[in-house]
Amino acid sequence: MSHRIIKVAALQELAMLGSSVQEKLDRTLQLIEQASKEGAQIILGGELCTTDYVRVYGEKDNEIFSEAESIPGPCTTAVGKITKKYGNYVIFPMFEKGAPGIYYNSAPIIGPNGTVVGNYRKTQVAGVQALEKMYFRAGQDFRVLETEFEPNAKFGVIVCHDRRYPETARINAILGAELLFCPTAAPGYAHGVHWTNLNIMRAVDNGMFAIYSNRVGPEGDNSYFGESMIVDPMGEVIAKLEAEENAVLIADCDLDLVDKARIAVPTLRDMRGDFWMKYYTPSYDQLV
C-alpha cells in the first residue's frame, strides 16, 4: 500500500530585539537553508519573523511601519532563491505594506519556482494583550494551495491568534486542507492549555495535520516559550521542541492519516453550516 508522505518543518526563531530587518532575515534564511538540506518540502517560519513583536504592545509605535515591505518584495525574493534551489515551499510570515496606510500581518507562500504563489493575511487581528488593531487591517480571505509535486498535498495557513477561533481551521478543512500551518509569537500568557490543548484540538476538530512555529527567548517585557510542535490528525504530537534557540523541527506527515481520521470521526461529513449560520447572523432583537 502506498503512502502519501510529505516532510514539513517549523522554524523556532530566537527573538532579536533591536536588530534590523536584514539581520533577522539573514537568521531566518540560514534556518530555511538548513531545513531545506534536511529535505523539508514545506517550511514554516515564525510570525512577523523580521519584526520585534513586542513593539505592538503598549503605546503606538509609528516608526515600526518603516519596516514593512510589499509582497513580493526584497524578503520574499531572498527566500525565493532558496525555494528555487531546493524546489520546495516556504511560508514566510512578515509585516506587509499592502498600500499607503494599509498594513497586514501576513504569511506569503513562496513556491518552487522562487515566486510568491499565495499570501494569507491574518483574519483575527489580536486586540487583547497585543494591540495589533493599531497596526494591521484584518485579512478577508482563506485559500488552500496544492503542492505542484507529489503527494500533491493540500495546505492552508492561519496566524497565531487565528487558532483561538475554530472557524479558521474548519474553513481551511472545508476548502480541502490536509495540513494547516500556523506561525505564532506566543509569550507566557498563551502557554499551558492555551497552547498545547488548543493546538491539538485544531488538528482533531478537522482530522488534519497542524504545524505550529513559535518564537523563543526574551524580547523586552515578553518572553516567548517556544514549544513549536507538529500534531497529526489523531491528535498525537509527533514532533516538538522545548526552548531550543534557532532550531528546526521536522517530521514526515503521512497524508493517508487524514482520510483515516475523517472516517473515524466524521466531523466534516456531519457539520451543519447552514444551521449554524442563523446564530452567526442574529437579528437585532437577538443581540445582547
Model's pTM, two decimal places? 0.96
What does pLDDT average to over the chain? 95
Give yes or no for residue 139 having a pLDDT over 60: yes
| pLDDT on residue 200 | 98
Give yes or no for residue 288 having a pLDDT over 80: no
**Distance between CA atoms of residues 279 and 75, nearest Å:** 42
Q: Which phi and psi (to 5°) does residue 233 adopt?
A: -65, -15
| pLDDT on residue 285 | 59
What are the counts of helices (DSSP H) followed by strands (DSSP E) for the chain? 7, 15
The conformation of residue 41, written as its DSSP 8-state character, comes to S
Q: How confident is the model at residue 287 (pLDDT cuts 50, 70, 90)?
A: low
Residues in the chain: 288
Give yes or no for residue 284 having a pLDDT over 80: no
- Domains of the chain, each with CATH number or no CATH: 5-286 (3.60.110.10)
By mean pLDDT, which of 120-129, 145-154, 164-173, 195-204 is the weakest?
A: 120-129
| pLDDT on residue 274 | 87
Give yes or no for residue 174 having a pLDDT over 60: yes
**Distance between CA atoms of residues 181 and 94, nearest Å:** 15
| pLDDT on residue 129 | 81
